[in-house]
Amino acid sequence: MRRILKIAKAELFTLFYSPVAWLILVAFTVQVGLKFTGLMADFVYREDMGFGNGFLTANLLGGMFGLYNTVQQYLYLYMPLLTMGLMSREFSSGSIKLLYSSPVTSSQIVMGKFLAMMAYGLVLLGTLILYIGYAACVVDNFAFAEALSGLLGLYLLLCAYAAIGLFVSCLTSYQVVAAIGTLIILAVLNYMNQVWQDIAFVRDITYWLCLSGRTNEMISGLLCSEDILYFVIVISMFLLLSILKLQSTRQRVSFSMVWGKYLGVVVIAMLLGFVTSRPVMMCYYDATETKRNTLTPNSQEVMSKLEGGMTITTYVNFLDRDYYIGMPNMVNSDLERFKQYLRFKPEIKMKYVYYYDSVSNNPWLDVRFPNTTAKEKAEQLADMRDLNFKMFMAPEELKKKVDLSDEGNRFVRIVERENGQKAFLRLFDDMMKFPSEAEMAVTFKRFTMKLPKVGFLTGHGERSIDSDRAKDYLFFSQLKNFRYSLINQGFDVENVSLAGSSDIPDDIEIVVIADLTKPLEPGEQEKLDRYIARGGNLVIAGEVGRQDVMNPLVEQFGVRFLPGVLVQVKQDIQPDLMIVNATPEAGEMSYFFQEMLIGRNAKIVMNGAAGLAYTEDRGFKVTEILRTDTTGCWNEMETRDFVNDSVILNTAAGEVEAMYPVALALSRKVGDREQRIMILGDADCISNEEFSIRRNLRVMTANYTLVTGTFYWLSDEEAPIDVRRPMGTDNKIHLSRKAMPYLKTACMGIVPAILLIWGVVLWMRRKRK
């Protein structure tokens, strides 16, 4: 060990007596200081403008534009300049002969040189630690653990660069060639995740070997054994290769023996990498304050209940527009989306099935290949993309295993347990596309408990879940590729009829009655009354012009739809287009409603709404969820053409200016459970038409939130799953705009100047000697 330390000490003296090390240190300090002050200035300006800050530690250090990511880019350029002379200088000057003749081994030479680079790496990151220390002094509750996690990642990356540079330096006596060679190897390692990804076993090895993005999880605050062991294995591999190279020049060994040793080191490293990258072998530590890199407690609870084996089979239709997500060369990237779930259930098996069949979401195919069958389209596409057409199953062959016609033959996953339970996991037609934790968790939750079933009443002209009419409820019931549809948020949906002799099925927990056009028959009303008496939950949505039909349904609850239509005179907005507010009482009922009040201050749009009147003498607790503004709103009894006519308050016609509730939540105790009922004064506000229309209202609307929050409350908070995370406490910065010029001067002037002067003094003393 003494000899290793002596070699390291000598190498450090050589390094710091040369201008290269000091110039790199000064340049690194200036660049990091520039990025650091820029980020701090952004936080200070946001604070002064009243926008506030959140997760300051993560925003300062992590993310695509954070300080740590910037440092990664600089290290990639600087390390080859530092390592290019480690052994090349010894070869070119002839001093290697002195080392060979001295009582030191090749292992000691390599380890001494590497130890010197590790020490220089600590000096290099020391300036970064200085800036982080300052940030910790001005940011409340600075997340030290998260910062240290990122620093560890950067230091391991720096050591890996040093080991690679040391190995290349052992191959040549030319320092420039060593620097270029190091850059080439680093480029190859960063590109390895795209090499041979269509070969099943090989793709796991090459994907693991890739250096790109290896520190991202550590920078975000998540320590994973796979990433740490990756650096240990890669560093050890290149150090061993360096030792073998030096030994081969000192001893006469056959060519096959030398390359056999090289190959053995690489193969062992690859096998170790493959084993340590298996989910069952991984360990994790989330260093963030809010554990944002880990599944929320509710999701973890769901995963803990999933006993036994599970298989997720991805069915990839080659003619689907999203087919590329599951192709063999994208499998490992796709598996990254399940990493958090494999962390808690590593025995999950992932399979991919490739086929071709007609699909409705890719009209480009009909334009590109007109008058062709699905097979002909697939053959031509495979030829265009240099793919083997035989890898895709024919439609009739696939249907022997599974029929995906109900899914539109689109990209879909089937989650299947050993006990035969199955559930679908879909892509969605929005910008996110992939299911979030909420959709994933609710899919798994279907296996552990019975989720609520929603029945939509039919037979009386109601809004239908099977119709294509824009005003119906397709979006929030059965639309499979819409993220917020009920079936993707944890509900089962079906039609319910009151005709015949049967009552409403016992497994129906929520009944939706929307905009009846004709009243219930006496026998049908009795069946509905029995459902209500047993404590069943309800959504009753009325509509202007249907008050006489809807009132018999709600009068038993002490509620009545008022005649007429609510209006409010607003500039450039049709009077009957109501923009209503959530009440503070609603925020206490559900966090979805609370989100409409806090921060977002979102509104609900109702195009033609009936006001609601209520009493609390029927045994129900009544809570106003939505209501109109306090002024300028009344119940219009006369005007019906709101485009050509103007509205005027006429008290003689019974029009009263007031604040009207338009959504009520009723609850009461029935047996051992709480019965919950939601009554809306407008059915259009949760229809397809409202969600697809675009209006220039200059306000944020939250009709989606109204539906999601309503069914969350009606399901006793079972679905959708609550995947909220707490806010971080590092949200306050104690730094003024007046102090920013001083900070910039210190970071980009004083600290680099001190380092520069120190380096010049040492260099001059060296020259004198």
> Of 419, 444, 469, which closes a domain?
444
Asked if residue 475 and residue 429 are part of one domain, the reply reads: no
- From the number of C-beta atoms within 10 Å of its C-beta (0-12, 13-18, 19+), residue 419 rates as exposed
Mean pLDDT, range 362-377, rounded to an integer: 89
Do residues 28 and 164 share a domain?
yes
Residue 649 sits in a domain whose CATH number is: 3.40.50
**Is 70 exceeded by the pLDDT of residue 432?**
yes
Per-residue pLDDT tens over the stretch 667-703: 999 988 899 999 999 998 888 778 777 777 777 888 8
Tokens of 401: 């295993």
Whether 294 is in a domain gets the answer no
Is there a single domain that holds both residue 482 and residue 610? yes
**Is residue 298 one of the residues assigned to a domain?**
no
* 654 compared with 222, residue with greater pLDDT: 222
Q: What angle do CA 741, 746, 748 make, to 5 degrees?
A: 90
Question: Taking the CA of residue 27 as centre, how many other CA atoms within 13 Å lie in the half-sphere pointing to its CB?
Answer: 12
Residues 94 and 216 in one domain: yes
Instruction: Give residue 691's pLDDT.
Output: 78
Residue range 345-370: mean pLDDT, rounded: 90
Predicted pLDDT at 449: 86
Tens digits of residue pLDDT in 32-81: 999 999 999 998 988 888 777 888 899 999 878 889 998 888 888 888 88
Same domain, 52 and 100: yes
Total of domains in the chain: 3
Q: Helix or strand or coil: residue 538?
A: strand
SS (H, E, C) 617-644: CCCCEEEEEEECCCCCEEEECCCCCCCC
pLDDT at site 471:
60
Measured from the Cβ of residue 47, the count of other Cβ atoms closer than 10 Å reads 19
601 occurs within a structural domain: yes
Q: Are residues 585 and 698 in the same domain?
A: yes
Q: What's the DSSP call for residue 556?
A: G
* 375 falls within a domain: yes
Q: Closest Cα to residue 207, out of 332, 52, 110?
A: 332
Q: Sign (positive/negative) of CA torsion 357, 363, 365, 367?
A: positive
HSE (side-chain half, CA atoms, 13 Å) at 509: 18
Tell me the residue type at 640. R
Give residue 156's pLDDT band: very low, low, confident or very high (50, 70, 90): very high
Query: Residue written as tokens 């000192």?
Result: 250
Would you say residue 700 lies in a domain? yes
pLDDT at position 467, please? 62
Residues 6+ apart with CB under 8 A from 500: none
Q: Between 195 and 666, whose confidence is greater? A: 666
In the predicted model, what is the mean pLDDT of the chain? Answer: 88
Q: Assess whether 270 and 358 both reside in one domain.
A: no
pLDDT by residue (tens digit) across 297-321? Answer: 999 999 999 988 999 999 999 999 9
Q: Which of 676, 697, 714 is the last residue of a domain?
A: 714
Any residues with CB less than 8 A from the CB of 149 and at least 6 apart, and which? 218, 219, 221, 222, 223, 287
pLDDT at 175: 87
The per-residue pLDDT for range 753-764, each reduced to its tens digit, is 888 888 788 777
Reduced to 3 states (helix: H, G, I; strand: E, B; else coil), residue 681 is coil
pLDDT, greater one: 531 or 14: 531
More confident residue, 178 or 472: 178
Maximum CA extent, the chain? 114
pLDDT digits (tens, 9 = 90+) for 449-458: 888 999 999 9
SS3 category, 684? helix
Residue 295 has pLDDT above 90, yes or no: yes
| C-alpha–C-alpha distance, residues 587 and 486, integer Å | 22
Looking at residue 364, its pLDDT comes to 87
What pLDDT is stored for residue 769 in this prediction? Answer: 62
pLDDT at 469: 60
Query: 625-646: per-residue pLDDT in tens?
Result: 999 987 789 998 888 878 777 8
Do 483 and 430 touch, CB atoms closer than 8 A? Answer: yes
pLDDT band at 240 (very low <50, low <70, confident <90, very high): very high
Same-domain pairing of 26 and 140? yes
pLDDT value at 436 more than 90: yes
Both 512 and 474 in one domain: the answer is: yes
Q: How many helices (H) and strands (E) does the chain have?
A: 28, 19
> Which three-class secondary structure state does DSSP give residue 447?
coil
Give the pLDDT confidence score for residue 415 in this predicted structure: 95
158 and 44, same domain (yes or no) = yes
Amino acid at 325: I
In a domain? residue 724: no
Say if residue 401's pLDDT is above 80: yes
The torsion region of residue 337 among left (phi > 0), alpha (psi -120 to 50) and beta comes to: alpha
For the entire predicted model, the pTM comes to 0.86
In this predicted structure, the answer to whether residue 470 has a pLDDT above a threshold of 70 is no
Q: What's the whole-number mean pLDDT along residues 215-221? A: 93
Nearest to 310 by CA among 438, 448, 487, 486: 448
Pairing of strands 412-417, 422-426: antiparallel
pLDDT band at 325 (very low <50, low <70, confident <90, very high): very high
The last residue of a domain, from among 444, 461, 480: 444
> Higher confidence at residue 143 or residue 570?
143
Q: Mean pLDDT, to the nearest integer, of 329-349?
A: 91
Cα gap 161→725, rounded to integer Å: 37
At residue 345, the pLDDT reads 93
**Both 609 and 635 in a single domain?**
yes
What long-range pairs does 398-402 form, CB within 8 A, spacing at least 24? 398/315, 398/353, 398/355, 398/357, 401/353, 402/315
The answer to whether the beta carbons of residues 635 and 566 sit under 8 Å apart is yes
Domain, as residue range, for 643: 450-714
Is residue 474 very low, low, confident or very high in pLDDT (cuts 50, 70, 90)? low
Let me know: does 567 contact 633? Beta carbons within 8 Å. yes
On whether both 418 and 540 belong to a single domain, the answer is: no
Residue 472 has what pLDDT? 63
Residues 18/129, Cβ–Cβ less than 8 Å:
no
Indicate whether 731 belongs to any domain.
no
Instruction: Grade residue 241 by pLDDT with cuts at 50, 70 and 90.
Output: very high
Determine what percent of the chain is predicted with pLDDT higher than 70. Answer: 97
How confident is the model over 700-754, as pLDDT tens digits? 888 888 888 999 999 999 888 999 888 888 888 888 888 888 888 888 888 888 8
Q: How much of the chain, in percent, has pLDDT values that exceed 90?
A: 47
C-alpha Rg value of the chain to the nearest Å: 34
